[in-house]
Structure 1
Amino acid sequence: MMISPEKQQLIGVQVSTVTEEPLTRTIVTVGQITYDETRLARIQARVEGWIEQVFVDFTGKWVKKGQPLLRVYSPELLSTQRELLIAKRAKDSLGTSAFPEISANAQSLYEATRDRLRLWDISDGQIRELEKRGTPTRTMTLFAPVEGFVLTRNALRGQRITPEMELYTIADLSTIWVLADIYEYEVPLIHLGQPATMTFPYFPGKTFTGKVTFIYPQLDNQTRTLKVRLQFPNVDHQLKPDMYASVSFPIDYGRKLAVPESAVLDSGTRQIVFIAREDGHFEPRTVQLGAKVNDRFIIESGLTVGEKIVTSGNFLIDSESQLKAAMSGMTGHEH
């Protein structure tokens, strides 16, 4: 179809050249900070007994790795220490026995008693100290296995404890997780290891950098969103669990052949772009669209670099084309 330059100007036709261009966009969503579940430690005693002394007596306290938490009196532990000292004396005295079986039995009993203490979290260093001292200790001290903050405390002085009781929960907050919701149409753009940034209104000018570490398998049926888990370093402990943040995912599509959104006419069954010829002719061309990036469509097929396309006034060109086609049909019918 041909349109005169005057009419093109009247209907506001604008033309641009198809090019390949670098395309990027950013997905922005809300994230909530939570604990890194791999850095949670739950403290339990391996023996039955009674708490004699509590060293860490409130939640929120920061503890170092190896810091004493509480002291436990355990009759069973006391008895086993005595057994070890007796077994060691027997091993030492019978080690040079002329009867190998007696020597081997003494060694076996000693090793079995040591193993029982190890199963109760008594370290080799503590066992060596016991053997050097020669007398059992009345109590056992539980130490923090990790550095972090005390989340829960269920240890009270005088309390009877059993192995299944959780006495403390300690969280290492040097790394935190962030859970973010992604709309289902954005899910294909997110992948493991993808970088992300996080900002807070109360940390102006500060940006935290992390990455996607897990994409949950199930979609929320109500919100049509998928949870994505990110990991961020938190060495200075500025970030606290349950804080809300703005999370941004930069998406890089690379260099793509793309056209402005305004250049595409969608008929419902196909997408059309008008090609502008030098002689004033306009040719409708069916194209296959890819992703929409900001105000541009990626073109999968139908156009080549260097072609001239209509970016404004194409709706009126389409109307003019349909009108001319209808009039042509009427003229043909009259003949």
Structure 2
Amino acid sequence: MKKYIIYVAVLAIGLVLGYVIFGRSAEGSINDKKITDMSENVSHSEEHQMWTCSMHPQIMQPEPGDCPICGMHLIPAETGADGLALNEIKMSENAMALANIQTTIVGNVSGTDDNTMQLSGKILANEEANAVQASYFEGRIEKLNVNFTGEEVRRGQLLATIYAPTLVAAQQELITASNMKESQPALYNAVRNKLKLWKLSESQINQIESSGKVRENFPIYATVSGTVSQKMAEEGDYVKQGQPIVKVSDLGTVWAMFDAYERQISQLKVGQKITVTTNAYPNKEFEATVSFIDPTLNTKSRTVSVRATLNNKEDILKPGMFVTAKVATSQANKMETQITVPATAVMWTGERSLVYVKTDPNEPVFEMRAVTLGTKNGSVYTITDGLSNGEEIVTNGTFTVDAAAQLQGKKSMMNATGGKTMTGHEGHLGMQEDSSRKNTNEANHSQMNERIEVSNKFQNQLKQVFDDYILLKDALVNDNGKRAQQAGKQIDQSLKKVDMKLLSDEKAHNHWMTIQKELKNSANAIENSSDIASQRGHFKHLSAHMISSVELFGVNQKVYLEFCPMADNNKGAYWISLEKEIKNPYYGEDMLTCGEVKATLQ
């Protein structure tokens, strides 16, 4: 027994010594590996760590130090865990839905039509099938049976009834002449022929002659069938002989009118077969034949008009529709596919034309890109440079994406090089920096949008919107959510009074159309919310677009652009004020004086 006890004891001692010698060593090597891995991760993180200034987020440096603008110590910037490139912006799905941001893939997505070229155009009424219904005699329209444009009429249908004093006298002549037709047949025939020239039928003339009664009102019948494309007179109007009453278009056939560039003309000829498609019926193709090529070149757009006639018996092609034609070309002279985008996708800055490209097909990630515009066809632009076949761009809500980019310090319409600050430098139009903030290091900041000249009447209407904005800002400064709701409602009402017809410049019109929509959306959100924190969130978005409108159009008043770096969870937010003294609308009494004057807008 003693022998076995000694064996067990020796075995136990051996196990303990083995753990001490080998277990600790293994554990140590595992821990060493963990430490090494952590060290490598830290080293890797530090290698990519960027440093920024809390007051000037546009400053990005690869190592710590002092801000070259204000001298403050730099702090670690976010490491970019979202994987975004320097000038990419990512929006939440909720923000995308609220702003109604829509995207479209441009170009020929399939990329397989190597031997075809595409032409963009639109549907027009066939002028050869148009007819004008005129009055054949002077008189007053007593009854007009055509009620609206687009109404269908048939040949022989009663269009109007006219009181014609000249016809009353002619009828009396007929009745008198009929009593002398045996003795004076020439006079009798002359009177009847005169009534025939006024489009009275034989039966109508015979009825007048046999009854011996004069008719005061005479009917006008349609001579063709079709769709009323224009009402040219109303009931009660006095019309002259030959004056048009309605214009009728036969839409059984329609024209498809396209623009072709100079380099494409050699590939086109009359009689050539083309295939036409439209967004309204994406799975349906229409066969057509080129029936006309304009003999003159448009010197402004450097294009020629190409026309094809389409059968429209099913009445599915409507004048005004945008269409695309595919034209077969030879392999030796194949054309590149045209890339077209809606005008709503393009932002203008005077010198640049910009679009926002969706860089990640699975995520709402966007990046601003400069493009070169070609010709404009209706509300569609041809892109000659800057976009590739199959890329996805923002076509609705472009200004909303741009405002988000501005607020995050990315490249934007107002800021060509990026940087969250919106302060101006001496090159900015309509802006002067506050003298206490001038610094030569800010000379590298981007230039602002060029001021667009608009009428004083438009500026005065915009000024009313701006005044309501100031009321909203003051309500938030005073922590008064109810007054903020009222101000939001006033902004909405003032926006409805702004007359876009006062903007004759197309660039100004398109800018304001988009800005107005964003201002309205934010104002409505504030009006419908009683939570002041939510109101302040919408106020940030409202302010971004209010700033854009003041910079672009002006309000004939000196105002201050002010910024709080702590607003919106330290992302920062701007607002406009009439006073240089800081009164923060994002915090109210809690931090009333937090912020600084960034610029003066003249």
- Indicate whether the TM-score tops 0.5: yes
Instruction: Describe how 1:35-184 pairs up with structure 2 within 5 A.
Output: 35-91=125-181, 93-94=182-183, 106-184=184-262
Following the alignment from structure 2 to structure 1, what is the Cα–Cα distance between the partners of residues 139 and 294? 42
**1:31 equivalent in structure 2:** 121
List per-residue Cα deviations over 1:291-329 (Å, max 9, x = no partner): 43479xxxxxxxxxxxxxxxxxxxxxxxxxxxxxxxxxx
Following the alignment from structure 2 to structure 1, what is the Cα–Cα distance between the partners of residues 222 and 169? 25
Partner amino acid for 1:58?
Answer: F
Q: Does 1:235 align with 2:313?
A: yes
List per-residue Cα deviations over 1:46-78 (Å, max 9, x = no partner): 211111112112222111111111100111111
Following the alignment from structure 1 to structure 2, what is the Cα–Cα distance between the partners of residues 53 and 62? 18
Following the alignment from structure 1 to structure 2, what is the Cα–Cα distance between the partners of residues 134 and 211? 58
**1:215 equivalent in structure 2:** 293
Partner amino acid for 1:217?
Answer: P
Q: What is the CA distance between 1:206 and its match in structure 2?
A: 0.9
Following the alignment from structure 2 to structure 1, what is the Cα–Cα distance between the partners of residues 211 and 314? 42
Q: Percentage identity across aligned positions?
A: 32
Following the alignment from structure 1 to structure 2, what is the Cα–Cα distance between the partners of residues 52 and 120? 18
Q: What is the CA distance between 1:243 and its match in structure 2?
A: 0.6
Q: What is the CA distance between 1:199 and its match in structure 2?
A: 0.7
Give the one of 282, 292, 295 matched to 2:333. 292
Aligned in 2, Cα 1:215/1:128: closer, same or farther, shift over 3 Å?
farther
List per-residue Cα deviations over 1:112-170 (Å, max 9, x = no partner): 22222222222334334434444332211111221111122233333222125322111
**1:15 equivalent in structure 2:** none
Q: What is the CA distance between 1:247 and its match in structure 2?
A: 1.1
CA RMSD of aligned residues (A): 2.3
71-80 vs 207-216, greater mean Cα deviation: 207-216
Aligned length: 223
When you count helix as a share of all residues, which structure comes out higher?
A: 2
Please state whether the residue corresponding to 1:76 is helix, strand or coil: helix
Q: Which runs of 4+ in 1 moved over 3 A?
A: 128-134
List per-residue Cα deviations over 1:84-106 (Å, max 9, x = no partner): 23223322x33xxxxxxxxxxx2
Following the alignment from structure 2 to structure 1, what is the Cα–Cα distance between the partners of residues 256 and 221? 29
Q: What is the CA distance between 1:227 and its match in structure 2?
A: 0.5
Q: What is the CA distance between 1:185 and its match in structure 2?
A: 2.3
**2:328 equivalent in structure 1:** 250
**2:49 equivalent in structure 1:** none
40-49 vs 127-136, greater mean Cα deviation: 127-136
Q: What is the CA distance between 1:35 and its match in structure 2?
A: 1.1
Q: What is the CA distance between 1:200 and its match in structure 2?
A: 1.4
Following the alignment from structure 2 to structure 1, what is the Cα–Cα distance between the partners of residues 211 and 274? 56
Please state whether the residue corresponding to 1:78 is helix, strand or coil: helix
Please state whether the residue corresponding to 2:169 is helix, strand or coil: helix
Q: What TM-score results when the alignment is normalised by the length of structure 1?
A: 0.61
Ranked by relative contact order (alpha carbons within 8 Å, sequence separation 6 or more), the top structure is 1
Identify unmatched segments of 5+ residues in structure 2.
1-113, 337-602
CA contact (8 A) 2:116 2:334 kept: no
Following the alignment from structure 2 to structure 1, what is the Cα–Cα distance between the partners of residues 115 and 211? 69
Following the alignment from structure 1 to structure 2, what is the Cα–Cα distance between the partners of residues 225 and 37? 22
Aligned in 2, Cα 1:184/1:125: closer, same or farther, shift over 3 Å?
farther
Q: What is the CA distance between 1:213 and its match in structure 2?
A: 1.5
Q: What is the CA distance between 1:184 and its match in structure 2?
A: 1.6
Please state whether the residue corresponding to 1:118 is helix, strand or coil: helix
Please state whether the residue corresponding to 2:193 is helix, strand or coil: helix
Following the alignment from structure 1 to structure 2, what is the Cα–Cα distance between the partners of residues 32 and 61? 22
Following the alignment from structure 1 to structure 2, what is the Cα–Cα distance between the partners of residues 188 and 70? 50
Aligned in 2, Cα 1:229/1:239: closer, same or farther, shift over 3 Å?
same
List per-residue Cα deviations over 1:258-301 (Å, max 9, x = no partner): 8xxxxxxxxxxxxxxxxxxxxxxxxxxxxxxxx43479xxxxxx
Following the alignment from structure 1 to structure 2, what is the Cα–Cα distance between the partners of residues 132 and 213? 53
Identify unmatched segments of 5+ residues in structure 1.
1-23, 95-105, 259-290, 296-335
Q: What TM-score results when the alignment is normalised by the length of structure 2?
A: 0.35
Following the alignment from structure 2 to structure 1, what is the Cα–Cα distance between the partners of residues 327 and 187? 61
When you count strand as a share of all residues, which structure comes out higher?
A: 1
Partner amino acid for 2:140?
Answer: W
Q: What is the CA distance between 1:36 and its match in structure 2?
A: 0.9
Following the alignment from structure 1 to structure 2, what is the Cα–Cα distance between the partners of residues 211 and 133? 56
